[in-house]
A and B are shown apart, each in its own frame.
Chain A
Amino acid sequence: MSTTTTKIATQDIADSILDPVLTPSTAISINNVTVSFKTPKGAYTAVKEISLTVQKGEIVSLIGHSGCGKSTLMGTISGMVKPSQGEVIANGKRVAGPGPDRGIVFQNYSLLPWLSVYRNIYEAVDSALKDLSKAEKKELVERNLKTVHLWDHKDKLPGQLSGGMKQRVAIARAFAINPTILLLDEPFGALDALTKSNMHVELLKLWNLDNREKTIVMVTHDIEEAIFLSDRVVVMNDGPAATIKEIVSVPLARPRNKKDIVHDPVYMNTHDKLLNLLIDKFSIDDIKE
């Protein structure tokens, strides 16, 4: 009994990063994962011995400098990247490859340019949810396209859409297969600041519509975006052999208001903390050499 208490206390301090124990509310558990790639110059280790647990319904951001392996780490959850060591458990099952329980929104939308908006989503639903009838699949596509306000554009090809619209199609596609885990790889990186803000709110709206039951893991390099959306922000060290530098909790109540939140002292503290973790030179005076 006493050992359990000690364990929980340690867990609190370590912010639950080292906890490999599966509880019913654990959505994702990354256990001691290392990913190495073979390159012509020898093995390259992208991420090293990373452990991280994400609870059901939690929104977690992975943040770090370019090339720090955050997308690679995300890839081990989606099943697109195989860990060289360690394992990832998603929804109680060891990840062996991509699956319909985990929806992915890619960095550059990844819509198929020869398929209409409608077909892009339909083909994904058709493949991921084989057991549904044709009518049920069509209904799913229609409902999700209407949620992102793109039903009127359903017959257009992706090339005829703006960046924000394409990303909404990609998000609708990921939501349409109704995954319990949603993985977003720098989803708003290519959008302008205004479109980006709208997309943040739309994403949270979709999450709310689903009773906040979906677990979301997002890769980003945008501090404001990470704070506004997440419950926890995982800051990564620079690669190669990247590890977790620190996990910062975002204790802001939901629903969050984009305009009000920036004046909240909690927001400002979190922002400062993240900035300090990510950047060590703040003015030209800091550059010694």
Chain B
Amino acid sequence: MVYFAAGMLLLLGMWDMVSRLTKGEIPSPIATWGTFKEVMTNPFQNDPDNKGIGIKLLSSLARVGIGFGLGSLIAIPLGFVLGSSRIAMNIINPIVQILRPVSPLAWFPLGLAIFQDSPKASIFMIFICSLWPTLINTSFGVSNIPQDHKNVGKAFGFSVWKYITKIMLPYSLPHIFTGLRLSIGVAWMVIVAGEMLSGGIGLGYFVWEEGFNGGSVGKILVAILIIGTVGLLLDRLFTGLQKRFTYAV
């Protein structure tokens, strides 16, 4: 906690220095705090042409949630299959290796072509980029189940369902959460870029429209801070889950 505070102070110090060097072109922390308070007034105001920052944040989170949720629903079971079957792994792995390095933004126009709808296209983009870390980590976890655990299932005649729920899932859970943590990190990073392309209501569009086009660097900084903080909280949430489900042998 002390280190965290020290880090924050260092960040504020550097920020203040940059602000002085650019002669206020980049607003100082104090000036930004003013903008922050202004942005934060009525965060949940829901007028059609004047939505509060809270509404925008929630709408970004909802898109991430849907895309990430759908991606995980596919990635976890597929990871089980890849982790337990060498043949499936050998067939699917090259596909994963080719698709994984593709920039998430490249999927956006494809999504747009498929759905003819920009919010759906950004959800599609989040879905695709949420797949890979969870898929890779889940299959890694499953393929590393110790022989001891497998022997228990064999020796006592566990059914396939019991094997999945009592051995495979609990053993790979920490790996799954690592995957989910990486996925949500990527998803949260990508949503901002996606919303800049797609427009509509969200933090990405806020940065672009009100910050850059509106000529307010302060608002850009506020948005960066909000995005960073939410990203940190999401990461902490999954780290916590990962620890909760790791067992001493």
B156 CB-CB contact with A under 8 Å: yes
Using Cβ atoms and an 8 Å threshold, which residues of chain B touch A275? none
Using Cβ atoms and an 8 Å threshold, which residues of chain B touch A14? none
Structural contact, A123 and B151, CB atoms closer than 8 A: no
Q: Given the known inter-chain contacts A113-B249, A157-B247, A159-B247, please indicate yes or no for A98 contacting B166, CB distance below 8 A.
A: no
B20 CB-CB contact with A under 8 Å: no
Structural contact, A78 and B249, CB atoms closer than 8 A: no
Shortest CB-to-CB span from A133 to chain B, Å, is: 18
Give complex CA distance A123, B164 in Å: 13
Using Cβ atoms and an 8 Å threshold, which residues of chain A touch B170? 112, 114-115
Structural contact, A127 and B167, CB atoms closer than 8 A: no
Interface majority SS (helix, strand, loop, mixed), chain B: helix
Shortest CB-to-CB span from A71 to chain B, Å, is: 12
Within 8 A of A (CB), among B135-149: 148-149
Within 8 A of A (CB), among B119-169: 148-149, 151-152, 154-159, 162, 166-167
Give complex CA distance A283, B155 in Å: 43
Structural contact, A123 and B162, CB atoms closer than 8 A: yes
Q: Which one of A103-111, A139-147, A194-202 contacts B?
A: A103-111
Within 8 A of B (CB), among A83-110: 97-100, 104, 106, 108, 110
Within 8 A of B (CB), among A124-162: 124, 126-128, 157-159
Chain A, 149-179, contact with B by CB distance < 8 Å: what is the 0/1 string?
A: 0000000011100000000000001000100
A123: contacting residue among B154, B158, B245, CB under 8 A: B158
Q: Given the known inter-chain contacts A112-B149, A112-B170, please indicate yes or no for A100 contacting B157, CB distance below 8 A.
A: yes
Using Cβ atoms and an 8 Å threshold, which residues of chain B touch A113? 247-249
Using Cβ atoms and an 8 Å threshold, which residues of chain B touch A123? 156, 158, 162, 166
Using Cβ atoms and an 8 Å threshold, which residues of chain B touch A159? 247-249
Q: Given the known inter-chain contacts A106-B151, A110-B149, A112-B149, please indicate yes or no for A124 contacting B247, CB distance below 8 A.
A: no
In this complex, the member of A106, A123, A128 whose beta carbon has the largest number of chain B beta carbons within 10 angstroms is: A123
Q: Given the known inter-chain contacts A106-B148, A108-B148, A112-B166, please indicate yes or no for A127 contacting B157, CB distance below 8 A.
A: yes
**Chain A residue at smallest Cβ distance from B152:** A110
A8 CB-CB contact with B under 8 Å: no
B159: contacting residue among A111, A127, A157, A158, CB under 8 A: A127
Give complex CA distance A277, B218 in Å: 86
Structural contact, A98 and B155, CB atoms closer than 8 A: yes
**Chain B residue at smallest Cβ distance from A174:** B155
Give complex CA distance A106, B154 in Å: 12
Structural contact, A80 and B166, CB atoms closer than 8 A: no
A110: contacting residue among B148, B157, B158, B162, CB under 8 A: B148
Give the B-binding residues of A (Cβ under 8 A). 78, 80, 97-100, 104, 106, 108, 110-115, 123-124, 126-128, 157-159, 173, 177
Interface pairs A-B: 10 shortest CB-CB: A159-B248, A113-B247, A114-B170, A124-B156, A110-B148, A104-B155, A127-B156, A114-B247, A98-B155, A127-B158
Give the A-binding residues of B (Cβ under 8 A). 148-149, 151-152, 154-159, 162, 166-167, 170-171, 245, 247-249
